[in-house]
Structure 1
């Protein structure tokens, strides 16, 4: 197993929902032994943590507390950049309704925003993404290949496509190699708001001048009472925020 393939496994172990469930399992073991009070306390803490981390308001507060703030941009803010770079966020390898792999929801949102900016600014569009370390099948089509087909639905084409990179650091390095031939060093970087701080750091270290162009900002989706009930959306956002906060700390 390559060292990069260990990253998603180790990451999953320290993030919700796995981490609280492991804590609950430890509590259960202790509760069966001579430390019942400690075990029950751990079970209670893990259940409470998993509940709260699955609530959307908690997830948004975590993003504000753990990640540097990022601001939305307008097309006119891109006057000084030479290209728009969109980062991949996964693919759906099996999409029988299309008969071909399709962008996963994060990738589709980033592609749409990148295409929207490209149409309004005339800036060329690039996409970075191969087959990630966590992919179920390393032989699946790279994200860039899937993105190149999908982005045509938005009325634009990719000028540069990196199909080799497997994580954010490799995204930056491969884009530097591809864009260097055209002298591109000033870019607008498109990815989800929670992914932006670590992505900017990686691309600046690769030698780019970066204008963050975040998308996917959190927003209330249901009534306040329902928002405090656990939901997949809340858990997914909490997981993404905690992962990025840890990744940013390690990167720094």
Structure 2
């Protein structure tokens, strides 16, 4: 197993709900041995797991733990040479289509990039192969994105990286590919939670970056429903905590 393949496994074990629930289990095991502190730990971890299942908590954590983000403005695009989209996964099997499709994250990024490209007239680039968590034999994000852009939007990619496996590799490979054509000033499209880390990686690779985040984390339902545990709440909290930990590791390593 390559070191990179451990990243998604360790991440899954640490992030909610698995991380807090594993700690709760450890507390229950300690309680069985007569340690009262074990029950307190288990109760606290269960409460934390429930809290980290609400979309409102995800929104709050994003505001407190991640750098602030704002939508890109049309004037910001005037000086860029290209719009670079980062992959967010694929659906290797999509029976209703009969062929692989972009993951909803990837599709949202592509759709936003298409909008920016049409507004600005700038060419498109895409970075993403098969991520470390991808299934063996899965198609590359780049191959799927290129097909969908052409078939659904009538747009082509000027530059394509379909081999990189994570954000750091996205940046290095795109610097090699687009750098041959003198591309240095880019608008970078990825999720709002991911944009700070991605921007830092591309700047280290030599790019001047205008962040173009999509999927900004904002309330979507009534206040009561926002605070109740939900699937989207767990997803939101996982994404925020994942990026916070990744930024922390990057700062420590740097």
- TM-score band w.r.t. shorter chain: over 0.9
Q: Distance in 2 between matches of 1:198 and 1:74?
A: 20
Q: CA deviation at 1:239?
A: 0.6
Q: Distance in 2 between matches of 1:75 and 1:90?
A: 28
Q: Distance in 1 between matches of 2:228 and 2:91?
A: 28
Q: CA deviation at 1:211?
A: 0.3
Q: Distance in 2 between matches of 1:75 and 1:182?
A: 24
Q: 1:220 aligned to 2:205?
A: no
Which residue in 2 is equivalent to 1:34? 34
Q: Distance in 1 between matches of 2:222 and 2:70?
A: 25
Which residue in 1 is equivalent to 2:104? 105
Which residue in 1 is equivalent to 2:140? 142
Q: Distance in 1 between matches of 2:76 and 2:45?
A: 45
Instruction: Tell me the SS of whatever aligns to 1:220.
Output: coil
Q: 1:58 aligned to 2:64?
A: no
Q: CA deviation at 1:90?
A: 0.5
Q: Distance in 2 between matches of 1:215 and 1:191?
A: 6
Q: Which runs of 5+ in 1 are unaligned?
A: none
Q: CA deviation at 1:68?
A: 0.6
Q: 1:74 aligned to 2:45?
A: no
Q: Residue by residue, what CA displacement relative to the aligned partner does 1:96-118 show, whole Å, maximum 9, x if unpaired?
A: 11111100011000000001100
Which residue in 2 is equivalent to 1:19? 19
RMSD: 0.9
Q: CA deviation at 1:74?
A: 2.6
Contact (CA 8 Å) 2:62, 2:217: kept in 1 or not?
Answer: no
Q: Residue by residue, what CA displacement relative to the aligned partner does 1:145-195 show, whole Å, maximum 9, x if unpaired?
A: 000111121232111110110000000000000001110000000000000
Instruction: Tell me the SS of whatever aligns to 1:43.
Output: helix
Q: CA deviation at 1:53?
A: 0.7
Q: 1:234 aligned to 2:233?
A: yes
Contact (CA 8 Å) 1:83, 1:187: kept in 2 or not?
Answer: yes
Q: Distance in 2 between matches of 1:66 and 1:76?
A: 28
Q: CA deviation at 1:75?
A: 2.8
State the TM-score, normalized to the length of structure 2: 0.96
Which residue in 2 is equivalent to 1:183? 182
Which residue in 2 is equivalent to 1:154? 153
| Alignment length (residue pairs) | 250
Instruction: Tell me the SS of whatever aligns to 2:72.
Output: coil
Q: Distance in 1 between matches of 2:79 and 2:50?
A: 45
Contact (CA 8 Å) 2:59, 2:219: kept in 1 or not?
Answer: no
Deviates more, 1:11-20 or 1:203-212: 11-20
Which residue in 2 is equivalent to 1:4? 4
Which residue in 1 is equivalent to 2:44? 45
Contact (CA 8 Å) 1:132, 1:167: kept in 2 or not?
Answer: yes
Q: Distance in 2 between matches of 1:111 and 1:11?
A: 26
Q: CA deviation at 1:136?
A: 2.2
Q: CA deviation at 1:76?
A: 3.0
Q: Distance in 2 between matches of 1:185 and 1:158?
A: 17
Runs of 4+ in 1 over 4 A off after TM superposition: none
